[in-house]
Structure 1
Amino acid sequence: KRSFIGLSAPFLLAHRYDATAEGYRISDVKADLGPMITAGHVLDISPDVKLKPSTLLRYRSETGLQADVTSNVIFKDRLWAGVSYRTGDALIGSIEVLPTPQWRFGYAYDLGMSSLRPYHAGSHELMVQYEFGYRIRVRDPRYF
């Protein structure tokens, strides 16, 4: 209940843009699957504070193996503050607020650390999440 692991292949089917057709089409070329694996665990630091370390490994033929190493501190299951490092690419800071069990609001700043860094000042991300179908209060909140 406090740990997770996942595996995905977002490019299971090969696709390419065909200028003579309308948009993307499935092709018969070999797909670069882009496999990813993720894992993490939630640790109780105190009754009000939890630590959620996690990692994501991904492989693409264009970029090779890349890892995201993340740590979130969770205060009273209502405020999340996190930092993440993407190997050779970025440093990310994030904050999320959960005012109710249905709503989640977040902000993240991605500071690029690659060779493109001189050409941009990072990126900002805003997040709004609403959980439909909420009926009962969950005894164990979801951390992933």
Structure 2
Amino acid sequence: GREFGSETSHYFVTGGYVFDISENVKLKPFAMVKSAFDAPVSVDASLNTMLYNKLELGVTYRLEDSFGAMVNFMVTPNMRIGYAYDHIVSDLDAKTKSSHEFMLLYDLNFSKKASSSPRFF
């Protein structure tokens, strides 16, 4: 007799672009609009900067909900480490108003790749 959740269709529209400001600086804006029936539309926007293809710094904002910042560093061509902070500013009744994330990103390079897809977003 317990109900654990419900199935509702969700819709996401995302977009971003990498602007080559100079040989060593890339600017990466990104936006996402999320919607579900019986829920308000949510808008996320972020702006990241890649420096020397090694260091990435970024900020993010979720409309009327939260903001955050992130940093990650490319240790090797296949491995990055990073940190992100998120702070809730809405009236959401959360146990904590902020979060800290530590990231380890590793790209597995298999020998039979059809195409190359660098992970910018």
Write the distance in 1 (CA, Å) between the matches of 2:68 and 2:88.
Answer: 9
Larger Rg: 1
Write the distance in 2 (CA, Å) between the matches of 1:84 and 1:134.
Answer: 32
Write the distance in 2 (CA, Å) between the matches of 1:125 and 1:77.
Answer: 22
TM-score after normalising by structure 1: 0.70
Task: Name the % identity.
Answer: 32
Is the CA contact (8 Å cut-off) linking 2:9 and 2:37 kept in structure 1? no
2:52 matched residue in structure 1: 76
Is the CA contact (8 Å cut-off) linking 1:82 and 1:95 kept in structure 2? yes
Per mean C-alpha deviation after superposition, the further-off stretch among 84-93 and 115-124 is 115-124
Is the CA contact (8 Å cut-off) linking 1:102 and 1:134 kept in structure 2? no
Is the CA contact (8 Å cut-off) linking 2:42 and 2:62 kept in structure 1? yes
2:19 matched residue in structure 1: 43
Counterpart among 96, 104, 107 of residue 80 in structure 2:
104
1:116 aligns with 2:92: yes
> How many pairs align?
118
Q: CA deviation at 1:125?
A: 1.1
TM-score after normalising by structure 2: 0.82
Give the 3 Å change call, closer, same or farther, for CA 61–140 of structure 1 in structure 2: closer
Secondary structure at 2:10 match in 1 = coil
Q: CA deviation at 1:62?
A: 4.6
1:67-115 residue CA offsets vs partner (Å, 9 max, x unmatched): 1011000001111100011011000101111111110111111010111
2:65 matched residue in structure 1: 89
Give the 3 Å change call, closer, same or farther, for CA 49–140 of structure 1 in structure 2: farther
Counterpart among 47, 54, 64 of residue 30 in structure 2:
54
Give the 3 Å change call, closer, same or farther, for CA 77–134 of structure 1 in structure 2: farther
Secondary structure at 2:41 match in 1 = strand
Structure 1: 5+ residue runs without aligned partners? Answer: 1-17
Q: What amino acid is aligned across from residue 54 of structure 1 in structure 2?
A: F
